Structure 1
């Protein structure tokens, strides 16, 4: 849904027309070329190839760093630093023709050697890339000539070109890769300018950019975590836009204000109550199913997100044609939940911790879930964490019982096949399904396998699936080109301008 017009907008327009008629045309003013963009979270660093935090890509994707391909606003794969490619008949060899005349922001040339370096680095044994499995199927990378690179896979992968469009597959240079966390150097239309830690990240136009120039000369990503402060900064004009607005309860007020455009779209963010499948009672599938039966999804959407969000029953985006609606698998049924707990040996329930990262959906949702689970005898200790703590304790250390997080990576159901992933799920049946999906190229076959994978993880109640995170954006009415939907975690500013 996009909101462009309302009664007050029409009234304001009428008054302006009347004033123009009475006093003549207003003098033309040059369009602004700067932008202040509000973001919820400060990135831990600025290297998208070395971290899992969505906040990194929300600053750098398509702005500072680029890949061989890119994901556009519609979720489609587009050629980028690779202008074209050819795929061998057996589906194993991809020969990429690269854009020529491309340079990194430090003036060093981009060529096929940089592609080999970037992908070899991402798939190396000591790689810190958060999406290292994306590159595991690469068997070899051959530099044919400076403008041509051939990547050979061990087996066909129908999603390979999409994988290359992730921020984790961004092209980096050997001269600057080690310092990209604090001084990112990419090939994009913007270059890094300054990072005032705790406050903002600033990027400026790259006048030596190889592609179409961008309209903005400068963009500042202003870090505002508090919903009240976000609203105040928007109303005061200190911030021009919030691509993801923190206070959905204020959207009705902003919709009728002619100064703003409100656009509610979709994201790839499956918001889940994640459970440690190898910790205590939660190692028993009957307990996990009991938890799923005890949660009122719609109440969580209403209470934590003010009604903005779509209930889900599995880890898959509802807007995708392969989505299977499994929300009825675990209807709210406290008696069923208690019976499952008793069957598993916990007739009186148990105690556990729920570790919550900073986002509003997690903090508000955690309180509601604690209230829900108390009704079946499960007492939760709420432990709020900052992102660095969450990444260390939960994501890396697996030291948790429950947590709430939104997985915003696109098409990421494959994480359920990673044995060392934080919720520690292990299913040969799921692995077999994903192995078939990886080599399938027929669309209908791929969709059927995606559906099977969704059913398996729901049947195993790996996590309790809550809702698909909505993307509620608010920005100044004269600003054009921001994405309404979020097919990938990004604030792509390449098409943004003031009118």
Structure 2
């Protein structure tokens, strides 16, 4: 089979047309992009451990590269990155990646097939407890054929590997093995990738500074000299700073500030397809949520999703039952499964032994990085009261939520925005019992088998049918509780040019420049 390559002219067209850049507006080099983050950073583990949370992930998007990457939605096309070309052999059982030559890690060591193999081996090592390992468990062997050729052998045919490496949380971010040796356990504070920027300063609670990588392998990139990520937890402060020019970019804008910034001259608010949910997870490790009747009462019939969409998001969200938001390929509408029926919720709770004398009680965990989420938690608390459930709210710092939910799985219900997806398999990272990313305690061998079937299947229509079956099963059992879609907004000053909007998925800044 011929190698998969992206022609030079097509790459130029992607860079120019995909970003709206015109020949009359040539990029300008230099300057500092000042970015507001609503939460502090956690750890730069390159997926070699628990999930880091979005704020850290968005920063490391500019420190690390993967073998492949993806174009912004709605195209979502897989394109080369550290692998300049790749081949698929043996009907999807063997993948050959031809790597870029002359690429250096930020510590001056070589990126090559041996370094790539080290990163894959770390992700696949059960002792590392990588949260993305479920994507890659069908890998049988990773081999460095020579310095610039990597071969991956699968246990069975799979068409899912390229999209996983390109579109699932930046695939396997390539980190320097030398950095791991040098810093030991503290290496998560010293991220060393091949990306367009390298970390030069990190003061927790204050800021992170990234400086231009002069040895970046993509010719002519990046344009900016410095990225300054400022921790600004108060959305009103961040909004005011953007309007006065103290900062240039807000990475996540709550809906309340969207309504203000949309009317502000010199500010551009950006959004895209509905690809992410607002979740109200129920932890099935905690009684009574191990019983589907409790999940259907609380996360099904007891949730007034229409009210949440209308009140919390000012009508800019939609009620959502399916695990996939409507903008995700192959999503199906399952809202009819759980209409708002408080009487049915009460009946199910009574079956479980809960009533006025013995009410169900639980705590809603919510982060303080988006005031909308706290509003949703309050709405859910009030909706629970209508079915005789006593819910209390525990508002925590975003980093504490990462620790409680993503690391320790210590919660009863958590209200949060969640990842936007490119397909059902991207969410399957949470479907495998006992894995680091099994946040809710799912234990369903049938669902796991359906995931493997999806990955083996090459025909798009057959995959679509499997995806629909998975969505129906998950909704029926309410393994995953969504409340609404999550309309994601970012905002920047108009002198910020060529920004590629990936929704929440990525925050790539190598092509961004400042008009002077």
* TM, length-normalised to structure 2: 0.86
Instruction: Between 374-383 and 251-260, report the one with greater CA deviation.
Output: 251-260
Give the equivalent residue in structure 1 for 2:432: 418
Determine whether 1:230 maps to 2:248: no
RMSD: 2.0
User: How many residue pairs end up in the alignment?
Assistant: 468
8 Å CA contact 2:223, 2:512 repeated in 1: yes
Give the equivalent residue in structure 2 for 1:187: 194
Q: Deviation of residue 231 (structure 1)?
A: 1.3
Relative to structure 1, is the Cα distance of residues 203 and 215 closer, same or farther in structure 2, using a 3 angstrom cutoff? same
Give the equivalent residue in structure 2 for 1:47: 45
Give the equivalent residue in structure 2 for 1:277: 284
The correspondence for 1:430, drawn from 447, 462, 478, is 447
- Residues 43-68 of structure 1: per-residue CA shift (max 9 Å, x gap): 2022332341222221111x110011
Trace 1:302-321 onto structure 2 (pairs within 5 A): 302-321=310-329
Q: Deviation of residue 483 (structure 1)?
A: 3.0
The correspondence for 2:400, drawn from 370, 389, 395, is 389
8 Å CA contact 1:270, 1:317 repeated in 2: yes
Q: Deviation of residue 135 (structure 1)?
A: 2.2
* Partner Cα distance (1:223, 1:279) in 2: 34
Q: Deviation of residue 336 (structure 1)?
A: 1.6
8 Å CA contact 1:267, 1:408 repeated in 2: no
Please state whether the residue corresponding to 2:126 is helix, strand or coil. Answer: coil
Please state whether the residue corresponding to 1:108 is helix, strand or coil. Answer: coil
Give the equivalent residue in structure 1 for 2:251: 243
* Partner Cα distance (2:96, 2:501) in 1: 34
8 Å CA contact 1:309, 1:470 repeated in 2: yes
- Residues 286-336 of structure 1: per-residue CA shift (max 9 Å, x gap): 121111212122322333333332322121131123000111211111112
* Partner Cα distance (1:276, 1:294) in 2: 17
Determine whether 1:355 maps to 2:369: no
* Partner Cα distance (1:92, 1:296) in 2: 46
Give the equivalent residue in structure 1 for 2:102: 101
Give the equivalent residue in structure 2 for 1:445: 462
- Residues 214-249 of structure 1: per-residue CA shift (max 9 Å, x gap): 111111111112111111111221111113213x22
Relative to structure 1, is the Cα distance of residues 391 and 251 closer, same or farther in structure 2, using a 3 angstrom cutoff? closer
Give the equivalent residue in structure 2 for 1:484: 501
Trace 1:16-415 onto structure 2 (pairs within 5 A): 33-50=31-48, 51-52=50-51, 53-61=53-61, 63-74=62-73, 75-165=76-166, 166-167=169-170, 169-177=172-180, 178=184, 179-212=186-219, 213-246=221-254, 248-266=255-273, 268-291=275-298, 292-348=300-356, 349-360=359-370, 361-408=372-419, 410=421, 411=423, 412-415=426-429
Instruction: Between 178-187 and 146-155, report the one with greater CA deviation.
Output: 178-187
Q: Deviation of residue 168 (structure 1)?
A: 5.2
Please state whether the residue corresponding to 1:280 is helix, strand or coil. Answer: coil
Instruction: Between 388-397 and 81-90, report the one with greater CA deviation.
Output: 388-397
Instruction: Between 251-260 and 114-123, report the one with greater CA deviation.
Output: 251-260
Q: Deviation of residue 407 (structure 1)?
A: 2.4
Relative to structure 1, is the Cα distance of residues 391 and 474 closer, same or farther in structure 2, using a 3 angstrom cutoff? closer
8 Å CA contact 1:49, 1:170 repeated in 2: yes
Relative to structure 1, is the Cα distance of residues 476 and 31 closer, same or farther in structure 2, using a 3 angstrom cutoff? farther
* Partner Cα distance (1:49, 1:127) in 2: 9
Q: Deviation of residue 94 (structure 1)?
A: 0.4
8 Å CA contact 2:369, 2:398 repeated in 1: no
- Residues 393-446 of structure 1: per-residue CA shift (max 9 Å, x gap): 333433322111222163433134221212112223322221211211111111
Unmatched tracts of structure 2, length 5 or more: 1-27
* Partner Cα distance (1:417, 1:455) in 2: 14
Relative to structure 1, is the Cα distance of residues 191 and 31 closer, same or farther in structure 2, using a 3 angstrom cutoff? closer
* Partner Cα distance (2:229, 2:129) in 1: 25
Higher Cα radius of gyration = 1
- Residues 374-397 of structure 1: per-residue CA shift (max 9 Å, x gap): 100010122222334333433343
Give the equivalent residue in structure 1 for 2:4: none
Give the equivalent residue in structure 1 for 2:9: none
Relative to structure 1, is the Cα distance of residues 211 and 313 closer, same or farther in structure 2, using a 3 angstrom cutoff? same
Please state whether the residue corresponding to 2:33 is helix, strand or coil. Answer: strand
Relative to structure 1, is the Cα distance of residues 473 and 455 closer, same or farther in structure 2, using a 3 angstrom cutoff? same
* Partner Cα distance (1:266, 1:396) in 2: 29
- Residues 430-487 of structure 1: per-residue CA shift (max 9 Å, x gap): 222212112111111111111111110100122331122222121111212223342x
* Partner Cα distance (2:34, 2:292) in 1: 47
Please state whether the residue corresponding to 1:204 is helix, strand or coil. Answer: strand
